[in-house]
Structure 1
Amino acid sequence: MKIWLFRESQTAKDLKESLFSLTFCTFGDLITGVTIGYFTDLLNALPALIILIPPAIGMRGNIFASLGSRLGSYLHTGEIVIGGKSNLLKENIKTSFALTFSMSIYIGFLAWIVAKWFGMEKYFGRTIDVMDLSLISLFAGIFSAFIMIFFTFLITFLSYKKGWNPDNLTAPLITLAGDIITLPLLFFSMKVVSLFYDELKIVIFIAFLIITFTYTFLSSRTEVSKRILAESLPVLAICGLLSIFSGSILGSKFEGIMGISAILTILPAFLEDGGAIGGILAARFSSSLHIGEIKYEKKPSKKVIRLFIVMHIVGLIIFPLIGIFGYIAGSLIGLPGYNLLKMILISLTAGEILVIIVNFLSYYLSTISFKIGVNPDNVVIPVLTSLMDFVGTACLIGVAFLYL
């Protein structure tokens, strides 16, 4: 006799698809973790970059996972069909670029403020200014946006065409791509910006400011684009601020973290998987709300509880893997850190705490936003992933320091 959790085949399907995408992401994020470990010397050269890393990679996931969520909803509701032409797709592409331009400058500015606050403004022997971090953020955002647009459409349409639910795949795979692509591009952009002399920096910075405002304005002329931008910009601004808080946690503990820098190798995977779990739930809840499968209730229904349990089961598998990968990566690079058992326990303990938080946040944010007439596809994933950056960083670093 099947146990209660798997009485419905849909629950087993959710577990299989979610576990597949998150396991794949965890393996992929080993690359991101190794990247951070490999570029530790550059972090020491520009400590302020550690503040920019969480919001930069988070913003990529926020913008393009939301795009993937919207595409999934369009497919479920029949507003678009694979192979058909639609202005809806063009408007979504334009707004994604507009959001990338504006948010990249914004988080660069926030990172500069926090860097000044913590006295982390040294940059290759000189003091950084707002243009340095804004241009680093902007270049990384532009370079990655072209790749992310292509990947988002590919994974959404391909999964739907093969009979998989895009809601179970887009958030984790898109945020993974954002992590893998954005992080090395941040370090690359840092090297590029370091080559600019001051006058050239000013010209480039002003030019991009003009381009950003002009492109955002031109992209908001249709109702679809206007709604996406109107709902997304304020939320992404808040999300950027929340992600900066996670960067500030890293900044405030910079010297201590450098002493156990192997923990940085699991940070991207930990945050990405925490955000991806929230993204999966948010996308599922959004689609279910749009087609009437669930509605707002103070007490989550049995269907929702099943999804919560699925996420905890996934976490019991995924988070120990993250700890193992982090230990291996740290050992290969020669970074100081913890033994294997402690790395597993740190990741698992912090991860399960995070899953409890993300379960309830994703449900109530999705249902409440839908109830008040705001499209959850535009707001919930950005808010969740940014909260997960902050809460996840606090959980991981807090638990890690408890094991010292």
Structure 2
Amino acid sequence: SLENLPAEDALLENASQSNESDNTSTDQSPEPPAPLKETSFSIGLQVVFPFLLAGFGTVAAGMVLDIVQHWTVFTEVSEVFILVPALLGLKGNLEMTLASRLSTAANIGHMDTAKDMWKMIMGNLALIQVQATVVGFLASIAAVIFGWIPEGHFRLGHAVLLCASSVATAFIASLLLGIIMIGVIVASRKVGINPDNVATPIAASLGDLITLSLVSFYRTEYNDYANPLVCAVFVAMCPLWVLIARKIPSTREVLYSGWEPVIIAMAISSVGGLILDKTVTNPNFAGMAVFTPVINGVGGNLVAVQASRISTYLHMNGLPMGDPNPTPRKCPTPCTSFFGSTVNSRSARVLFLLVAPGHLVFLYTINSLRGGHTTLTPIFITFYLTAALLQVMILLYLADWMVHWMWGRGMDPDNFSIPYLTALGDLLGTGFLALCFHMRWFIGDRDSNVGN
């Protein structure tokens, strides 16, 4: 069956010529069918439904955050707000990276047999459990530090609670989402849909909601034994996941070299969490909570799709990573990234054009459900859409540069690019959104629903 995978026009011609020459040789194994050229319409058709599904998932997460921000655990332990973007960012650090890695493996035929498929599944599930536990623990430390610096005093009970909630949430959410991702990629492969177009948005459709629901279950009634026991149990399981991940060559490499992007991405998201903490705890800006998962989720989803597509194209193109004699490539300009004739430019245009109508649908949904503490005035909508468009424009441009830059230096973009991009999306989205609320407050367009 033909597979709908991204490729340049020149690549298609080369692939067809290569297939013709290969057919003359009978001692070679059959080549996979040449990929079909994707049009803007076909890209948009495959992306729009997962994008909307993921968007409504972030809307649900925003509604949850808007409600739980008044719960005791959030009001008494405000450092939890610093944890939120870091934990939500795990879907970019781990699940979206998993989706990109498995999508590439599926597209280039590394999951065609049942044996290869199960090896990839078990190795990758074990890998993300190790990463989730470690990153969850480090995220709690970052939240404690960022909370301690401005206040100047340390609360051991808060620190233990943050550690237990962060590790447990990261582990459970990553396990559930990892299983969902594997099912989506295998199903997409069977029905002939490009997993790059659907896997990463679906990873986010339930990711934020599951993560926020899990972290909100914790309370401030500290138990001297329960929280330390939770931390100890999940940390003690790490050696088992390490042994499983080491048995698979593809995950063994990531196990040793894939820590830098997820840890740095966690730190970047934690800075966004500090912005969220300082903004949401101000009663005048309480309405920011419902919109934060939406603007961050949409930006992260779209840039993850683009990064995954570019990475798959580079893998299919056959150029080795870290080629000692690479073709010189200048730093792309926004014009070449968005208005070029390549399939990657077409996908960038399609993804950017989804931002404004998608956010309008999500804003209308939040308003219809009476969510948030913010009145949707024309000024607020204008500020919000400007922030969202600027965020996605920056992210898509960075994706075009970063994926090619990493490829030229021998780093697999499937493992390295998405954590950085989604973390930057969290930081840009939270920062721009906070700026929107401050600007509309200064010009007098203030919330009439504050306190409701």
TM-score w.r.t. structure 2 length? 0.79
Deviations 1:260-306 (A, max 9, x none): 32232121111111001110000000000001189873234521332
* Aligned-pair CA distance for 1:196: 4.7
Bigger radius of gyration among the two: 2
**Native 8 Å contact 1:323 1:345 kept in 2:** no
**d(CA) in 1 for partners of 2:236, 2:129:** 15
User: Counterparts in 2 of 1:3-402, with a 5 A limit?
Assistant: 10-42=39-71, 43-81=74-112, 83=114, 85-86=116-117, 87-119=119-151, 128-188=157-217, 190-191=218-219, 194-212=220-238, 215-216=241-242, 219-220=245-246, 222-256=248-282, 258-292=283-317, 297-298=329-330, 299=332, 300=336, 301-303=340-342, 304-329=344-369, 332-333=370-371, 335-402=372-439
**What's the % identity of the aligned pairs?**
19
SS of the equivalent of 1:227 reads helix
Cα contact 2:96–2:304 (8 A) shared by 1: yes
The 1-side partners of 2:341 and 2:90 are apart by 33
CA shift digits 1:239-277 (9 cap, x unpaired):
000000100111222333x42322321211111110011
Distance of aligned partners of 1:84 and 1:150 in 2 relative to their CA distance in 1, 3 Å threshold: same
Cα distance between partner residues in 2 of 1:162 and 1:82 = 16
Q: Deviations over 1:159-178 (max 9, x none)?
A: 22222211111111102221
One-letter amino acid matched to 1:254: V
Once the two structures are TM-superposed, the CA of residue 92 in structure 1 deviates from its matched residue by: 1.2
Q: In structure 1, give the amino acid aligned to 2:70.
A: D
Q: How far did residue 364 of structure 1 move? A: 1.1
Give how far 1:185 is off: 0.5
Residue 67 of structure 1, CA deviation: 0.8
Give the drift of 1:83.
4.9
CA shift for structure 1 position 195: 4.7
For 2:305, give the aligned amino acid: I
Q: Which one has a larger percent helix, Structure 1 or Structure 2?
A: 1
Q: Is the 8 A contact 1:322 1:347 kept in 2?
A: no
1:343 Cα deviation from its structure 2 partner:
4.0
Deviation digits for residues 30-79 of structure 1 (CA, Å, limit 9, x no counterpart): 21111011212122232111110000011133201111111110111101
Distance 1:63 1:53, change over 3 A: same
Provide the rounded CA distance (Å) in 2 between the counterparts of 1:20 and 1:120. Answer: 47
Structure 2 distance, partners of 1:312, 1:38, is: 31
**Paired residues of 2:303 and 2:396 also in contact (CA < 8 A):** yes
Using a 3 Å threshold, how does the CA distance of structure 1 residues 129 and 45 change in structure 2: closer, same or farther?
closer
Per the alignment, do residues 9 and 290 of structure 1 end up closer, same or farther by CA in structure 2, a change over 3 Å counting?
A: closer
* Counterpart-to-counterpart distance in 1, 2:407 and 2:184: 25
99 and 200 in structure 1: CA distance in 2 versus 1, 3 angstrom threshold: same
Distance in 2 of aligned mates of 1:97 and 1:316: 35
The answer to whether the Cα contact below 8 Å between 2:280 and 2:287 also exists between their aligned partners in 1 is no
In structure 2, give the amino acid aligned to 1:384: L
Moved more, 92-101 or 283-292: 92-101
- TM (norm. structure 1) is 0.88
What is the number of equivalent residue pairs in this alignment?
A: 387
Matched residue SS, 1:338: coil
Unpaired stretches in structure 1, ≥5 consecutive residues: 1-7
1:187 CA drift (Å): 0.5
Distance 1:120 1:358 in 2: 35
Q: Secondary structure at the match of 2:111?
A: coil
Instruction: Give the C-alpha shift of residue 320 in structure 1.
Output: 2.0
Q: Distance in 1 between matches of 2:229 and 2:54?
A: 39
Question: What is the CA distance between 1:207 and its match in structure 2?
Answer: 4.3
Amino acid in the other structure paired with 1:326: I
